[in-house]
Structure 1
Amino acid sequence: MLALSLMLPTLGHADARLQDVMKRIAAGESITLATIGGSITTGYAAHPPRERGWAALLARSLGPKVKLVNAGVSGTDSAAGVQRLDKQVLDAAPDLVIVEFGVNDQWLDPSVRASSYEAILRKLLSARKPPAVVVLGLTQQGNQARDAVDLQLKLAAHYGLTSLDFGRWMQARVDAGQDRWAALYDEPVHPNATGHQRIALALAETLRSAAAGPTTPLPAPLFGRAHEFTRLLMGETLKPYQSHGFERGGEVHPEWTGQQPGWVSKADDAETSFLVYGSEIAVFHGESEHYRNLEARVDDGPWVTLRGQVPERKGYLGWHYSVVGRDIETTAHLLQVRVKRDEWAGSGRPASFLAVMSAGLYPAALRTSDFAREALPTRLIAPDDAKLRWVGRIADSGGGKLLAWSGSELRARFTGTQLGLSFKSAHWGSSHFTIEIDGQRHWLAAPGNAASDWKLREPLPPGEHTLRLVKRTEAPMAETVFLGLRLAEGGRLLDPPPARPLKLEFYGDSITAGACNGDIAEDQYEDLYPHDGTRAYGAVTAERLGADYVGIAVSGIGVTATWGELLMPQIWNRYAPRLDAAVAPPDPRTPDVVLLNLGQNDHGFPASKGQSIAADFGDRYLTFVRQLRGRYPKARLVLLMGGMSAPREQPAIPHAVQRAVQTLRAEGDTQVWSYRFEAFAWAHPRIDVHALMADELTRFLQTEVLK
């Protein structure tokens, strides 16, 4: 669906398609009518609902060959609706779709409802077989409130869609003395059987009077495209990577076809975590007078309360789309959910959630950076300025700093309201960077084979700011030369942030590099945006320990075998993973801990050809460990195993690691340890597995190595 959603086809005007559908109905042809909305679309308060609700009444009034697909689901708004649109509506290949979310969207976060409702319209209009679309604007009794409906009618006009403003249609009848609101409602929200009859009547009039229009292209969106690119995790796809106190269960939405139980707990200390993707992350949960509250956060963001305990939901279970993270980078994230410690602690009441809903899973063509490709008209500050702090193995190169290894980092402090960055490509493709300003993460891709200047799009507030620029693309995929930075007129560099008290240096393969750790499906190397070395286990461990991080890692590499052309002993001490790259002298600041994690490819590459690991793997591994010890005679040395399956499948790997530790210790080296990860993945580990690996390694370093 993502590829289809990218298309902007020339479409017939919605009314022209509607006129065609109405002609087919008049000719006695069969058509499929789909309706999508909340409880009013299900027919709630009409008896029986599915037979006497407005959707069923309308279908019958249009003729015997109109097949109805009713995708009404009580308590859902357009944010939940866009998540179920494909399976419950588009898979039925409807000829006509009526969209109703006026009442429930009134309670939806205003910053969400514009984008999510517009996404429903765009997904319908860009479908392989676009249906005619009608927007049904329903309000509560008395034509109030209208915020959501007015927004939906504005979108209908923007896309040239036929719409029915039922509140105004009904008010006109009331003003003419032909009807009264009280006849349509027994309570303020849901129309009764008479109300459903009036809605069906108004829709039938609207459909039969719709006029044809000219052919027009799909307009540009008014509220962005985030909700055109969604992902729904529920049932068996909603699996935590770690959990305490939650169990599968909780009430299931009775009207949502195919829905499975979510997660529920009565424990005060229950918490669970999930791997999620997108620029907006939301939790879909129940609301009841009998429930407890949850709270959730994305990555290290603020905790957001998910109101499950809603006293006004007396005798009626509701559902809510609660945004936990928004305007975040459109990549992989970690979502934490826990029972909130509040006045309901110890009550025994359940806290429950049903699904996780993501939006903004943009394909590469639609990703945008917070940096524009434009140079600030101010002086370039050279990268060797004494007030810039560099962390990592970084070389001087052509008037700049060569950033090859992932994790290579610049830190600075500055004043002013603008920031500009200048790069040129050194080798191969685009380098992706995480640029953290005052703790807020931004993303930038410096293109390959080109020089480029970049300017932060939005001005910064006046005053002092902190900057971290970190290369996240691994070295063999792209190298970039950083040429300098620019500040606003009058801005200046301040003394740099101090070096962190601890320094960790990691050597490894794709696991350590973070390859594929943000891929949403199978491992791939065509789009390197989601491959993020800053979120690999080593970088995360260093961050947790408040340490400087150096990462020397190459996908596919080993000590005796490689998927590429070079082995780690050939490039481990160079400024880049090339034989023509200079050997780097030892850093004046020796790392406190040096960590080595190799062996996956020594096993995996020959195994792919039906061969065994090299017979001399253990000897050559020990030789390389001695090389590391020779470069870092005073550092603590930790030999790691795992993250993927090789240590489980090939006994020669743990045997070689243990032999190396025993040999060095027998020679009097007391500063060497080994550690085997419990967390692992059969494919490349994603950031959830990296987080678990970092949990393990942080504990091990704190309790065994740094004590």
Structure 2
Amino acid sequence: MAMSDSNSSKGLGGQGGPAAPKDPVERREGFFVMFETAIEATARPDSKPSQEVYLEGNYLIDKARYIGGVTDEEMLKMLTTWEGFRKLVHSIGVSVKTAREDAAVIFLMQNWGRTSKYETGTQYRVACPGDGTELLLTLEDIGWSGDDMAPGKFAFEFDEEGQLATASIVLYLHDGYHAPELTAEPPVDFSAPAYRKMIAGSLLHRGNNRRLKTAIDKAARGEDVTIAYIGGSITQGAGAKPIHTECYAYQSYLRFQELYGKDGGENIHFIKAGVGGTPSELGMIRYERDVLKDGAAAPDIVIVEFAVNDEGDETKGNCYESLCLNILSAPNRPAVVLLFSVFVNDWNLQERLSPVGRRYNLPMVSVKDAVTEQFRLSKAEGNIISKRQFFYDIYHPTNDGHQVMADCLAYLFSEAGQWPMGEEEEDTLAGPPVIGNDFVGVRLLDRNSDLSQAGTPVTIEAGGFAETDEDVQMVEMDDNPSGTPQFPHNWQHTASSGGESFKLKLTSRNLILVFKDSGSAEVGKAEVLVDGQPVLTADPHVNNWTHCNAVILYQEQQSREHVVEIWMVEGDQDKSFTILGFGYTV
């Protein structure tokens, strides 16, 4: 409420307010791009701990569409450029409610620049009240750079890692533009019969429960049982706040512990190995390291979640089936559960990947089957959880969404324990695969590998790639809230490394290169040759953020010797490039 001059007589019951408040300014039409969203301060290598919200590409459009309810295609298109954004948006309303009263929060709006994407655009920072009061940023009152090209990201910066808050951002419009009114939704009733019915709809395929039932009986006897999860960013916990305890993986582990644990459940153990932005093509390479802990762990149950990540799998399911076979072939005969998550546009790769589950008669759980039909309903028609309640952004669930996913898995756990023990397995792993099994037995090769134990002749000459890159993708593994470096035993070329190539000689059928993507202008491209022939120009800027990129260099039926060379491309010799590792089969 606008206040009058400071010399006004006291009013409001002597509380120091004005006797005659000014008339309220009429609120502009607007739409939310974040609405009462949980945020968490995550450690950043070169800045304050923060929660980042990226806006480029379709990110902001999808937030406007799915959170704000905007359907006007012209308005949505305007959000993709700074010129259009300024024409559409009059002001930005930001409200933050911190979990701790003394927590300091800085709101950042950063535009991408024309000259240098991450460096020449405006970075506007302003302190936010932590009590939920809306801070109004009028765009015409802020000095913007002439180099601003497009909205890049919002961020909430904190003083300490792990701090929690709830935030909303609304874009208020210039006169002449209109947005639908946002109405508050009732909280999700997780105990309602309709909710339980929705969850039951997630059971896509019962499969043979023998392995799962064996793990359940083992747990109930008080023996140690380990449940493991491997997947992409949803399994990592993206969207959950705090990420390590509110993610679907940890929450479903707790449900299993409650259902079948002995004496408080201390005999139930947890492994989480989700890595954001990566498909099963990378997951199968890191399975031994991240799930089996290089032989130190032998999980009894493994949840596999790549249904929204495997669009980037070059083999279109061969890697996924190979991963499942690698898990199923373990001597302790673990249960494998296939989990199919979903994006905000109701998309996943269930149709491609579910035949793998049917081929090996595996239990399958589909979050997509549970929630998408009711998304289309109004509350009056029977909607149980809306997209705005389920999705943190266009890819990842909110805490409520993660709870739905955990409840879907818990439903399988509960039902499988009540079903009769499944039949003794015939040799279901023998015979032809449904998609492919070319990568069964894939092994990780990195700087820490014992080449004498590689199972194949291997020689490596690091050449100009002799450094070690410490700025790698960080991931919250297991129940750890802090990031664990991915592929820390790597080979890096730097600006001062010289022009020598990296040389790898090995005998294998298949070889996958894992290299680091980056948004830094100091990182360059590398040329990859196999047996003297160019096969790939590895460009870290295709994805343009720090993460692990797996690409196939060759895929053959017979194992034979190959020589792989990696050079910096012409003109990029003074830049860096990081070989994170390789995956190979003999």
**Normalised TM-score (structure 2):** 0.53
What residue is the counterpart of 2:252 in the other structure?
A: 58
The residue aligned with 1:169 is: 370
Secondary structure of 1:276's aligned partner: strand
Q: Secondary structure at the match of 2:209?
A: helix
Which residue of 432, 445, 448 maps to 1:236? 448
The letter of the residue matching 1:252 is V
Task: Report the Cα offset of residue 49 of structure 1.
Answer: 1.6
For 2:237 and 2:559, the matched residues in 1 are separated by 37
Residue by residue over 1:482-526, the C-alpha shift from the partner in whole angstroms, topping out at 9 and shown as x without a partner, is xxxxxxxxxxxxxxxxxxxxxxxxxxxxxxxxxxxxxxxxxxxxx
RMSD: 2.8
Amino acid at match of 2:552: V
Match of 1:213 among 419, 422, 426: 422
Change (3 A) 1:235 1:142: same
Residues 196 and 276 of structure 1: CA distance in aligned 2, closer, same or farther (over 3 Å): farther
- Per the alignment, do residues 87 and 247 of structure 1 end up closer, same or farther by CA in structure 2, a change over 3 Å counting? closer
Task: Give 1:411-430 correspondences, 5 Å limit.
Answer: none
Distance in 1 (CA, whole Å) between partners of 2:222 and 2:445 is 41
Question: Tell me, what secondary structure is at the counterpart of 1:189?
Answer: coil
Alignment of 1:577-656 (within 5 A): none
Partner of residue 163, structure 2: none
Partners of 1:26 and 1:324 in 2: how far apart? 46
Q: Cα distance, 1:270 vs. partner?
A: 5.0
Number of the residue aligned with 2:185: none
Name 1:155's counterpart in structure 2: 356
Whole-angstrom CA distance in 2 between matches of 1:208 and 1:249: 47
Aligned equivalents of 2:507, 2:395: Cα separation in 1: 35
Shift of 1:294: 1.8
Q: Mark the CA change 1:317 to 1:259 in structure 2 (over 3 Å): closer, same or farther.
A: closer
Matched residues in 2 for 1:214 and 1:39: separation? 35
Contact map agreement 2:233 2:274 (CA 8 A) in 1 = yes
Residue 19 of structure 1 and its aligned partner are, at CA, apart by 2.6
What is the identity, as a one-letter code, of the residue corresponding to 1:218?
T
Corresponding position of 2:517:
287
CA shift at 1:121, angstroms? 1.5
Residue 129 of structure 1 corresponds to which residue in structure 2?
332
Write the letter of the residue equivalent to 1:320. Answer: N
Change (3 A) 1:320 1:184: same
For 1:185, the aligned partner's letter is F
- Measure how far apart 1:58 and its partner are: 0.7
| Displacement of 1:322 | 0.9
1:139 paired residue number = 342
* Structure with the bigger percentage of helix: 1
Identify the residue that residue 488 of structure 1 maps to in structure 2: none
Q: How does 1:358-377 map onto structure 2 within 5 Å?
A: 358-359=584-585, 361=586
**What is the letter of the counterpart of residue 164 of structure 1?**
V
Contact 2:356 2:435 (8 Å CA) reproduced: no
Give yes or no for contact 2:493–2:576 (8 Å, CA) kept in 1: yes
- Distance in 2 (CA, whole Å) between partners of 1:283 and 1:299 is 15
Q: Is the 8 A contact 1:248 1:261 kept in 2?
A: no
Letter aligned with residue 245 of structure 1: G
Q: C-alpha separation between the residues in 2 aligned to 1:243 and 1:286?
A: 17
Which whole-Å CA distance do the structure 1 matches of 2:423 and 2:252 have between them?
27
Hey, what does 1:515 align to over in structure 2? none
Q: In the alignment, what sits opposite 2:396?
A: 190
Letter in 1 for 2:472: V
Alignment length (residue pairs): 339
The answer as to whether partners of 2:472 and 2:546 remain within 8 angstroms in 1 is: no
Deviations 1:334-356 (A, max 9, x none): 111112236xx37x542222101
SS for the counterpart of 1:135 is strand
SS class of match (1:247): coil
In the alignment, what sits opposite 2:488? 260
Q: Could you tell me which of 297, 300, 307 is aligned with 1:102?
A: 307
Are residues 355 and 328 of structure 1, via their aligned partners in 2, closer, same or farther at CA, if it must alter by over 3 Å? same
* Structure 1 residue 13, shift from structure 2 partner: 6.9
**In 2, Cα distance between equivalents of 1:231 and 1:328:** 17
Partner amino acid, structure 2, of 1:230: V
- Counterpart contact for 2:313–2:319, Cα < 8 Å: no
Moved over 6 A (4+): none
Find the aligned partners of 1:187 and 1:300 in 2 and give their Cα distance: 45
Residues 126-174 of structure 1 show CA distances to partners (whole Å, capped at 9, x for unaligned) of 2111111100112322322x33x32221101110000112112121342
Q: Distance in 2 between matches of 1:247 and 1:233?
A: 16
SS in 2 for 1:285: strand
Alignment match, 1:39 = 233
Q: Is 1:226 the equivalent of 2:420?
A: no
Q: Deviations for 1:187-245, whole angstroms, at most 9, x for unmatched residues?
A: 22222322211111111112222345333322422234321122321123389744543
The one-letter amino acid of 1:278's match is S
Q: Describe the shift of the 1:106–1:36 C-alpha distance in structure 2 as closer, same or farther (beyond 3 A).
A: same
1:328 shift after superposition: 6.2
Q: Tell me the distance in 1 between the aligned counterparts of 2:242 and 2:561.
A: 44
Work out whether residues 503 and 566 of structure 2, in 8 Å CA contact, stay in contact via their aligned partners in 1: yes
Q: 2:546 aligns with which of 294, 309, 317?
A: 317
The answer to whether the 8 A contact 1:135-1:164 is kept is: yes
Unaligned runs of 5+ in 2: 1-205, 259-263, 377-381, 452-457, 476-483
- Report the Cα offset of residue 293 of structure 1: 2.0
One-letter amino acid of the counterpart of residue 102, structure 1: A
Query: Which residue pairs with 2:201 in the alignment?
Result: none
In structure 2, what residue type is equivalent to 1:203?
L
Distance in 1 (CA, whole Å) between partners of 2:342 and 2:437 is 26
Displacement of 1:285 in angstroms is: 1.0
Q: CA deviation at 1:266?
A: 4.1
Secondary structure of the residue aligned to 1:302 is strand
**Bigger CA radius of gyration:** 1
**2: CA distance, partners of 1:337 / 1:275:** 12
Whether the 8 Å contact between 1:249 and 1:262 is mirrored in structure 2 is yes
Q: Is the 8 A contact 1:54 1:197 kept in 2?
A: yes
1:353 corresponding residue in structure 2: 579
Aligned counterpart, 1:117 = 320
SS class of match (1:82): helix
Pick closer, same or farther for the CA change 1:224–1:355 going to 2, 3 Å: same
Within a 5 Å distance, the mapping from 1:686-705 to structure 2 comes to none
SS at match of 2:474: coil
Whether the 8 Å CA contact 1:246–1:271 is kept in 2: the answer is yes
Task: Provide the secondary structure at the position in 1 that maps to 2:554.
Answer: strand
Question: Compared with structure 1, are the counterparts of its residues 14 and 84 closer, same or farther at alpha carbon in structure 2 (3 Å cutoff)?
Answer: farther
Partner of 2:291: 89
Change (3 A) 1:292 1:217: same
Secondary structure of the residue that 1:338 maps to in structure 2? Answer: strand
Helix, strand or coil: the match of 2:375? helix
CA contact (8 A) 2:526 2:577 kept: yes
Residue range with higher mean Cα deviation, 244-253 or 30-39: 244-253
2:536 to 292, 304, 322: 304
Q: Secondary structure at the match of 2:395?
A: coil
In 1, distance between residues paired with 2:244 and 2:317?
29
Structure 1 residue ranges without an equivalent (≥5): 1-11, 362-707
Deviation, 1:89, is: 2.8
CA-CA distance at 1:299 after TM superposition: 1.2
Residues 43-99 of structure 1: per-residue CA shift (max 9 Å, x gap) = 123222222211111111222422111122334322222223234334312221111
1:567 is matched with which residue? none
Q: Contact 1:252/1:261 (CA < 8 Å) preserved in 2?
A: no
Q: Partners in 2 of 1:258 and 1:180 — Cα distance?
A: 35
Which residue, 407, 410, 429 being the options, matches 1:204? 410
Q: Output one character per residue of 1:518-568: Cα deviation in whole Å (capped at 9) or x when no partner.
A: xxxxxxxxxxxxxxxxxxxxxxxxxxxxxxxxxxxxxxxxxxxxxxxxxxx
Distance in 2 between residues matched to 1:159 and 1:259, nearest whole Å: 31
